[in-house]
Structure 1
């Protein structure tokens, strides 16, 4: 109690320095209020009657029982109002009277969310009346909300420093929404205390329809986000978390290899298991899954008689959690499509492919066409795997699949093949000179080649330099490729 008083006094003094005077103090412990001036105490906190409740951020809190009280301010319509149809604006206003930041009444609020999402499909203006089928469903829900008996939920979870605490989270999805709910389990000796901590729901997107397994995965993703926030609030990063889902497909995704799944599934699985490891996920039967009602919705009268939501499944309150022995099969859906290409080549270490062509053929165009077709085949089978300047030069159609699959050779194919042949010949006869040009920028030994002022172009082909560089002649005429005269390359 002394520690709480010190915290209270420090908070009062700290805010007072900024010009904020804290008033209307409420507490479930009378001693904490006894030494405060009367003008700083909330009147309802002094009476502690059964009906006494203090508004805290829109929530009603009974300090005597230390419990939250949920109710609505909706009133029954008069006879004249009953005959008038509701507008989209009025329905949203009525739905907003339920303030539930922790999602403790999610089965009720999701029903209202789903209904309002249906209204958006009609694309009506804010003050337009809703269609008859929506009006009928809304009147049923509004009557239930108006006559709703207050829900009372304990504020304190029973969490203490010396008690063992673990979290149990459940998720589910329907075609209209997905949800998750988290319970705390406090163990002291052989006694267990289960408490509803928080829940969260979202309506399924209507713009882009998703399959039910994907929505189930979205529920698991929502669970991971909520669990992460709760762990931060509890200031217990290593608290034990057990997650439950009734979807065997989702379990298969979570326990499988992330790299196997398509991007939509793989990204979410990666984020989920970073918060709740795959080994902490278990299967729960649908009838024992409390998140099921939050994905479909319940009327207030139905939720009052639904202990599964407030207390979780019965076995959660037992000393040991029953083990599940369901066989998890790897899902055959959402698999990543893999294109496998097998390229088999043979290599003759004694005779190079181009050399053999030059020795067996006397027509340069025949050789060029053969090299062009082989080059195109290599381009298609290894497309997307090569990088670098040389690759871009050798295969100009690398990034153009349409051009690569044409039935006829293109001009770029012919140029590419010609460059390959010329580079092969030059590398065979001028290997040392080309290396010197690349490393030193000049040739030191070959006097005959020095007279040609040789240089390497952007494609690493050895060309003649000289004074013609400023002329208007074509590049290949001004700077022809250097072909060794000592070789038997008559075809050039």
Structure 2
């Protein structure tokens, strides 16, 4: 009633509308009848009871939502006693944009909180709990994973599943749902005679053993499903690897960087176990092949395409070049195990020469050339080695004439 006055914007000194005045007068007439209501304090709980259960009901309307909790006792003489323990109602929000299924879900939250509170207060170990609602949409939300729904539904479903197990929830017809009285409201004169409110639905008192029905819920709840925005990015790995080559100052560093990237891609595959510890020789070798293959595609793109088309490029005709099973461009003849590298302008050539300079302990030009050609074939290799020796020593080597 106060909410309706606020929505109408009535001031304190203005007469209220006729419809509200009639409702207020009816409320005042019914208010003294509350004194006639008698609630028994004994719920037939004793040490001789054979079983005790908690049953909760919830419902909602566009005006309010609420819940009621009942205790169900089976005494030593196999008599069933059902009593109302507590109930709670809340006025529905004034925003008319909220839907009835959402209000029903709010009612299930109130019920879950009341049942957990009742269980803690009574301190009954392993008490069976049953939660009932007449909303099939709310049941469908509760029985699904919270991540499937929008934020409003997801947060409340998470709270419900935390307090009351999914298996405890069942569907009840509106005719047998006592919480329907709490959601739409009744006058005290009517409530006094409503047995369903004080002792619950009749089926709770007829027989003891029953299970919560779990019939499949086939309700279209697309409106509350979480919208997942998928962003697809096409990444050219060759560009990424080539950028890594140019950003690193040593061959070992670029190999290790790409080896860790390769390890990450393996970890992302669920069927493969986690990989821990330092990089293995196999990972380093696989990363080196990736580096070589990337650099070759950068320098010999046209030549590789011609070889794949069974054509012999003029620039590589004297080397008898071919592509191995790993897609690596190699030279044939006596050097068939050598990786074909590039001219002195490519950064990967610089990394290879620097690595050779370091591994030969700053050896001479001929020693570095022999070391490099054990694995790589570089055009104009003497020029590349001389440049590296000049940069390292700061003076021209006697054998570097150009």
Normalising to structure 1: TM-score of the pair?
Answer: 0.48
Q: Is the counterpart of residue 328 in structure 1 residue 217 in structure 2?
A: yes
Matches within 5 A, 1:70-85: none
Distance 2:348 2:16 in 1: 81
CA offset at residue 332 of structure 1? Answer: 2.9
Q: Assess if the C-alpha contact under 8 Å between 1:179 and 1:201 holds in 2.
A: yes
Distance 2:93 2:99 in 1: 11
The counterpart of 2:206, out of the listed 300, 303, 318, is 318
| Cα-to-partner distance string for 1:284-308 (whole Å, 9 max, x where unaligned) | 0001000001000001121122111
Q: Assess if the C-alpha contact under 8 Å between 2:44 and 2:75 holds in 1.
A: no
Unmatched runs of 5 consecutive residues or more in structure 2: 239-288, 303-345, 364-382, 386-402
CA offset at residue 354 of structure 1? Answer: 7.1
| Cα-to-partner distance string for 1:253-312 (whole Å, 9 max, x where unaligned) | 111122211121112111111111011101000010000010000011211221111111
Distance 1:156 1:337 in 2: 51
Matches within 5 A, 1:241-320: 241-320=129-208
Q: Which residue of 2 aligns with 1:429?
A: 350
Report the aligned-residue RMSD: 3.4
Q: Which residue of 1 aligns with 2:6?
A: 120
Q: 1:181 to 1:346 in 2, by over 3 A?
A: same
Q: Larger Rg: 1 or 2?
A: 2
The counterpart of 2:103, out of the listed 202, 215, 219, is 215
Q: Which residue of 2 aligns with 1:142?
A: 28
CA offset at residue 116 of structure 1? Answer: 2.1
Distance 1:134 1:431 in 2: 90
Q: Assess if the C-alpha contact under 8 Å between 2:353 and 2:384 holds in 1.
A: no
Distance 1:354 1:120 in 2: 74
CA offset at residue 225 of structure 1? Answer: 0.8
Q: Assess if the C-alpha contact under 8 Å between 2:59 and 2:66 holds in 1.
A: yes
Q: 1:426 to 1:161 in 2, by over 3 A?
A: farther
Q: Is the counterpart of residue 169 in structure 1 residue 56 in structure 2?
A: yes
Distance 1:160 1:431 in 2: 87
CA offset at residue 139 of structure 1? Answer: 0.9
Q: Assess if the C-alpha contact under 8 Å between 2:33 and 2:189 holds in 1.
A: no
Q: 1:360 to 1:161 in 2, by over 3 A?
A: same
Matches within 5 A, 1:441-460: none
Q: 1:358 to 1:252 in 2, by over 3 A?
A: same
Q: 1:317 to 1:341 in 2, by over 3 A?
A: same
Distance 1:261 1:240 in 2: 29
Q: Which residue of 2 aligns with 1:27?
A: none
The counterpart of 1:196, out of the listed 72, 84, 87, is 84
CA offset at residue 242 of structure 1? Answer: 0.3
Q: 1:148 to 1:270 in 2, by over 3 A?
A: closer
Q: Assess if the C-alpha contact under 8 Å between 1:165 and 1:186 holds in 2.
A: yes
Distance 1:245 1:118 in 2: 28
Normalising to structure 2: TM-score of the pair?
Answer: 0.58
Matches within 5 A, 1:454-473: none
The answer to which structure has the higher helix fraction is 2
Q: Which residue of 2 aligns with 1:32?
A: none
Q: Assess if the C-alpha contact under 8 Å between 1:258 and 1:269 holds in 2.
A: yes
Q: 1:271 to 1:148 in 2, by over 3 A?
A: closer
Give the secondary structure class of the aligned counterpart of 2:22: helix
Number of equivalences = 267
Q: Assess if the C-alpha contact under 8 Å between 1:177 and 1:201 holds in 2.
A: yes
Q: Is the counterpart of residue 131 in structure 1 residue 17 in structure 2?
A: yes
